[in-house]
Amino acid sequence: MTPEQVLSQSFTLPNGSVIRNRLFKSAMSEALGSRDGHATPELARLYRTWADGRIGLCVTGNVMIDRRALGEPGNVVIEDDSGLAALQTWASEATHGGTPCWVQLNHPGKQAPKGLNRENVAPSAVPFRPDMQAFFPTPRALTAAEIEGLVQRFAKAAAIVKQAGFSGVQIHGAHGYLVSQFLSPHHNQRDDEWGGSAEKRRRFVLAVYQAMRDAVGPDFPIGIKLNSADFQRGGFTEEESMDTIKALAEAGIDLIEISGGTYEAPAMTGVKTAGTSIKDSTRQREAYFLDFAAKARQAVRTPLVVTGGFRSAEGMAQAIESGAVDLVGLARALALEPDLPKRLMAGQAPRYQVRPIRTGIGPVDRMGLLEVTWYTKQLKRIGGGLPTRPKTPALWVFCQFLWAQMRAGKRRKPTRLRAS
């Protein structure tokens, strides 16, 4: 088959849900929520654009489960059904034409910039590396009661996502956010039932999955985005990731998206930092984490997605034909070119190539946060009905981001994280 024929094939999940083609829109933070954390017309317009672009399966940007713990200004937050009407509008547009759209649920843990939240929390009070401590505060360690409360927040948010009319839900267990922090021996230095061994570090993600499953029933799809590794010294390893994948598969997870890295070691963006350089062989094969996915395929039959590095229809089709993955994940390319799936399935090349974003300031350029911020700017343009601007200067975007953080921090009052 030609690459476009491979990508145009449908795929059926084990629960019977049908995905119309093999192109998977991976989560990107849109920062288009209202001041009170509700969905907006801009979000609806953005996701209608991707639905019209014929993506096979669409996953939203990280929707937070606690308004006291945002990852960036403009996050949508689901704590209760107060924003249900707006969520229903978003879901209706995002699923236009039969497009499945899943909501990614997240808690940032320690990975939230200074000034945004009154305090950051994490499994343990482990600071960021020295050159990033000016941007990220040292978190407070969660109590056991707070951890139990967060598990229930994930479950409640999942139930509301289903009620709103979305097609599924994804747990964000990658890129250094809270679930990822629990899995990492670097970030999770607890010695209670939530840490101290690889099995105990996995307890949080398994508890979140089970609570969500209980809340949405057996047929509503639940997936997870999971690191193949953290690419940090003393962090989450490939061996631990493989064991986590096996445990999630046994628990009944519907889909596993494989990525890697954190803000401190942003391997998911292809940025070179100490210990995270991408091999030439990987660049030629395009996908950053395909070797790991091939190993995972030997261990589990759960459907797999790899996100990161794909540049051409040929590279995407080869990944699928290899049997290592069932879907190919796209993110930044869709922020530049929202109708890319149509082009790829018509045998046309992408208009733009994704390249690392640089300000020329070393510590800033080594943070995954810069990539998130720059592409968020492109999503805002699409949500506003405007064309993307691939040549937007990175430094200008970063300065705007810092100003927004300061303004958001001034609007917040001190509060202590409660157990539920």
Q: Which residue has the tokens 């229809």?
A: 313
More confident residue, 410 or 420: 410
Distance separating alpha carbons of residues 94 and 45, to the nearest angstrom: 8
pLDDT number for residue 399: 82
Is the pLDDT at 221 greater than 70, yes or no?
Answer: yes
Distance separating alpha carbons of residues 99 and 51, to the nearest angstrom: 6
Nearest to residue 174, comparing CAs of 26, 277, 339, 38? 26
Neighbours of 177 (CB within 10 A): 24
Angle between helices 203-216 and 144-164 (to 10 degrees): 40
pLDDT number for residue 394: 79
Q: Where are the beta strands (DSSP E) in 60-190?
A: 63-64, 101-106, 121-122, 140-141, 168-173
Neighbours of 410 (CB within 10 A): 8
Enumerate residues 6+ apart whose C-beta is below 8 A from 356: 269, 270, 271, 365, 371
Enumerate residues 6+ apart whose C-beta is below 8 A from 355: none
8 Å CB contact between 39 and 33? yes
Is the pLDDT at 223 greater than 70, yes or no?
Answer: yes
SS3 of 127, please?
coil
pLDDT number for residue 286: 59
pLDDT number for residue 359: 77
Q: pLDDT digit string (tens) for 82-107?
A: 999 999 999 999 999 999 999 999 99
pLDDT number for residue 415: 43
8 Å CB contact between 210 and 204? no
Kind and range of the H or E run holding 309: none
| C-alpha pair distances (Å), 170 with each of 62, 81, 226, 316 | 9, 19, 10, 22
Distance separating alpha carbons of residues 84 and 298, to the nearest angstrom: 41
Sign of CA dihedral 395, 397, 400, 404: negative
8 Å CB contact between 338 and 383? no
Distance separating alpha carbons of residues 393 and 363, to the nearest angstrom: 17
Q: What value does the mean pLDDT take over residues 391-403? A: 79
Is the pLDDT at 279 greater than 60, yes or no?
Answer: no
Burial label, 22 (beta-carbon count in 10 A; 0-12, 13-18, 19+): buried
SS3 of 227, please?
strand
Q: How many residues does the chain have?
A: 420
pLDDT number for residue 275: 42
Output phi, psi for 218, to 5 deg: -75, -20
Q: Token pair of 137, please?
A: 């505060």
Q: How many CA atoms lie within 13 A of 5 on its CB side?
A: 2
pLDDT number for residue 167: 98
Q: Which residue has the tokens 């100490």?
A: 274
| C-alpha pair distances (Å), 99 with each of 33, 47, 190, 405 | 22, 10, 42, 34
pLDDT number for residue 393: 83
8 Å CB contact between 408 and 118? no
Q: How many CA atoms lie within 13 A of 61 on its CB side?
A: 31
Is the pLDDT at 258 greater than 90, yes or no?
Answer: yes
Q: pLDDT digit string (tens) for 114-170?
A: 999 999 999 999 999 888 888 899 999 999 999 999 999 999 999 999 999 999 999
SS3 of 122, please?
strand
- Find the radius of gyration of the CA atoms of the chain: 19
Residue 410: pLDDT band with limits 50, 70, 90: low
pLDDT number for residue 411: 56
What is the pLDDT of the chain when averaged over all its residues?
Answer: 89
Distance separating alpha carbons of residues 322 and 329, to the nearest angstrom: 15
8 Å CB contact between 265 and 232? yes
Is the pLDDT at 405 greater than 80, yes or no?
Answer: no
pLDDT number for residue 401: 72
pLDDT number for residue 367: 65
Residue 48: pLDDT band with limits 50, 70, 90: very high
Q: pLDDT digit string (tens) for 294-344?
A: 999 999 999 999 988 888 999 999 999 999 999 999 999 999 999 999 999
Nearest to residue 263, comparing CAs of 278, 253, 277, 273? 273
| C-alpha pair distances (Å), 228 with each of 53, 291, 399 | 29, 10, 32
Residue 264: pLDDT band with limits 50, 70, 90: low
Topology given in CATH for the domain delimited by 3-410:
TIM Barrel (3.20.20)
Work out the percent of the chain whose per-residue pLDDT is above 90.
73
Is the pLDDT at 246 greater than 90, yes or no?
Answer: yes
pLDDT number for residue 280: 47
pLDDT number for residue 416: 44
